[in-house]
Amino acid sequence: MSWLRSLSIKQKLLLVTLLTLVAAVVLTATLFMAYERAQSRDRLAREIATIAQVIQSQLVAALQFEDLATLQETANSLDYDVSVELVCIYDQQMRLKVRSFPRAEAAGSCPHNPQAGGAGFQDGGYLYVENLYFESVRVGTMFIRVNLAHMDQQLAHYFSMLLTALALVSMVSILVAILTQKLVTDPIIRLAAAASRIAADQDFSVRVQGHGDDEIAQLIRAFNTMLAAIEERDRALSSQRAELEARVEERTAELKTTNQELQAFSYSVSHDLRPPLRAINGFSETLLEDYGSQLAPAARDYLQRVRLAGQRMGSLIDSLLWLSRVTRQEIVAQWTDFSALCDGVVQELREQSPQQRGQIRVQPGMRVRCDPGLMRVVISNLLENALKYSQHSPTPTIEVGVRNGVYYVSDNGTGFDMRYADKLFSAFQRLHGNEAFEGIGVGLATVARVIHRHGGDIWAESEPGQGAVFYFTLAPEPVAGDAPGTESLT
């Protein structure tokens, strides 16, 4: 039926009109012929019954006096009707007395017992059987057989006349339909042309002319109203787009200014703060070494605290600069043997701290598309954290693997309370004090920023004393990264 869908609306309407007319013609002709056939048979039966009643008195008298000549003449009187094929007259003992052949070429033999075969329409003919009575005493039987060929010819003639009339009516109807279908198709064609133009040119100022108040006119008015609403919306969107572009330019300029300030701050941190710290640390150490014996124990303790605070501030500055550098570094993504990368990090940690206890298992065969350098920072921080918080466990066990596209690093260490999980990935936020575990709270913040820049997410699950599991995902195609220095340091 695909060919039907490809027809135009005019062709579909014409096809519907033709099919409707054909169905109407066929149905009308069928009903008329069925009715005419029934009426013709009914008229035939009544005519034969009437004729039989007319000649019945003559036949009864002739049978009583056995007047064969009168019987024959009476039977022959039916010759006026070419449909009568055979007439047979029987006496009281069902003996054949006479038979007539109005149409000798089509006549047949009289039945031995006409009442046995029944009467009515049978075998393409009509059989009429009538008993002849005189004073309630049967004196004989009359049998008439009528051929229906003449009636069928008349019906065929009527049918041809009917078809001719219906064909003329159909032709006139088709002409009228062709002339009037424009009232329906022209508005639809204009509507379709307008829709095609709008789709091609995105010109919502187009309008469709409609007349009247029928369903198509209502559709056209609704279509025009919709176009007006879209046009108004587009004007509003264009205005908002211009305003948004202006805001974007303004924010871009602000970001450039902020970036320059951050670069200046990083330069200041790197070059201006380090010399004073080095001086504080150096002079404190010299003072302790050269004049430590002359100082009171409390003074030596104060100097030692100043020296440790300076070293800690230096570590904070280094971590701050590292976090800023990781945040601004451009991502160069490539397919990486993640298992081999993790094994390399484990080996480095073993070399840096040979005394470090614990078993680290890395799932083999892991591959991921990432920036290898930044992903090494992620694994280093997560494994360092796992080793640090597992150091009090009798048998520290750390595992790196992947399940259903989610990577994880698990340990059986101290764990943490999930009520404070929202602080895990914020800079300088720690869930344990320095007395229990040393640190400055930048490692997990660095991990989170690297994962987010790869288009992924990171979260953790833990219970106090039951270890912790850090999960993270990576986008199939990591983002290229922001321009260096576009993110804040915190």
Residue 279 sits in the same domain as residue 240: no
Tell me: pLDDT of 391 over 50.
Answer: yes
Could you list the residue range(s) of the whole structural domain that residue 138 is in? Answer: 4-177
Mean local confidence (pLDDT), 88-96: 90
Residue 79 has a pLDDT of: 63
Residue 437 has a pLDDT of: 52
Gyration radius (Cα) of the chain, Å: 56
Tell me: pLDDT of 175 over 60.
Answer: yes
Residue 206 to residue 188: CA distance in whole angstroms: 15
In a domain, 9, yes or no: yes
3 state SS of 264: helix
Residue 364 sits in the same domain as residue 446: yes
Mean local confidence (pLDDT), 207-215: 75
In a domain, 264, yes or no: no
Residue 326 has a pLDDT of: 62
In a domain, 266, yes or no: no
Residue 463 to residue 414: CA distance in whole angstroms: 8
Residue 294 sits in the same domain as residue 351: no
Residue 84 to residue 320: CA distance in whole angstroms: 125
Most confident among 10-24, 29-43, 249-263 (mean pLDDT) = 29-43
Mean local confidence (pLDDT), 84-111: 79
Q: Which of 328, 346, 363 is the last residue of a domain?
A: 328
Residue 286 sits in the same domain as residue 339: no
Mean local confidence (pLDDT), 39-60: 88
Task: State which amino acid sits at residue 206.
Answer: V
Question: Per mean pLDDT, which range of 64-68, 385-389, 424-428 is the poorest?
Answer: 424-428
Helices (H), 181-214: 182-201
**Encoded tokens for 447:** 């991990």
In a domain, 26, yes or no: yes
* CB count in 10 Å sphere of residue 197: 12
Residue 480 has a pLDDT of: 44
Which comes out higher in pLDDT, residue 142 or 435? 142
List of residues 6+ apart from 408 with CB closer than 8 A: 399, 400, 401, 402, 469, 470, 471, 472
**Encoded tokens for 126:** 């009509």
CA distances from 161 to 19, 36, 136, 172 (A): 22, 13, 49, 17
Residue 111 to residue 86: CA distance in whole angstroms: 11
pTM more than 0.85:
no
Residue 482 has a pLDDT of: 41
Question: Per mean pLDDT, which range of 181-185, 191-195, 368-372 is the poorest?
Answer: 181-185
Question: What CATH number did the domain enclosing 352 receive?
Answer: 3.30.565.10
Q: Are strands 468-472 and 406-411 parallel, antiparallel or unpaired?
A: antiparallel
Residue 402 sits in the same domain as residue 283: no
pLDDT, one tens digit per residue, over 214-262 is: 777 777 888 888 888 888 888 888 888 888 888 888 888 887 787 667 6
Q: What is the mean pLDDT of the chain?
A: 80
In a domain, 422, yes or no: yes
Which comes out higher in pLDDT, residue 87 or 107? 87
Residue 170 sits in the same domain as residue 190: no
In a domain, 223, yes or no: yes
Residue 122 sits in the same domain as residue 86: yes
Which comes out higher in pLDDT, residue 135 or 274? 135
Residue 198 sits in the same domain as residue 288: no
Q: Which of 124, 146, 177 is the last residue of a domain?
A: 177
Tell me: pLDDT of 464 over 50.
Answer: yes
Tell me: pLDDT of 97 over 80.
Answer: yes
In a domain, 262, yes or no: no
Residue 282 sits in the same domain as residue 334: no
Residue 141 has a pLDDT of: 93
Q: Which of 297, 328, 359 is the last residue of a domain?
A: 328
Number of domains in the chain: 4
In a domain, 164, yes or no: yes
Which comes out higher in pLDDT, residue 155 or 10? 155
CA distances from 409 to 92, 360, 401, 478 (A): 121, 10, 7, 21
Residue 299 sits in the same domain as residue 341: no
pLDDT, one tens digit per residue, over 308-360 is: 777 666 666 665 666 566 666 677 888 999 999 999 999 988 888 777 777 88
Tell me: pLDDT of 478 over 50.
Answer: no
Residue 344 sits in the same domain as residue 464: yes
What's phi and psi for 367, nearest 5 deg? -130, 140
Residue 317 has a pLDDT of: 67
Question: Per mean pLDDT, which range of 362-371, 387-396, 473-482 is the poorest?
Answer: 473-482
Residue 323 sits in the same domain as residue 460: no
pLDDT, one tens digit per residue, over 401-447 is: 999 989 999 998 888 877 877 777 766 555 554 454 555 556 788 88
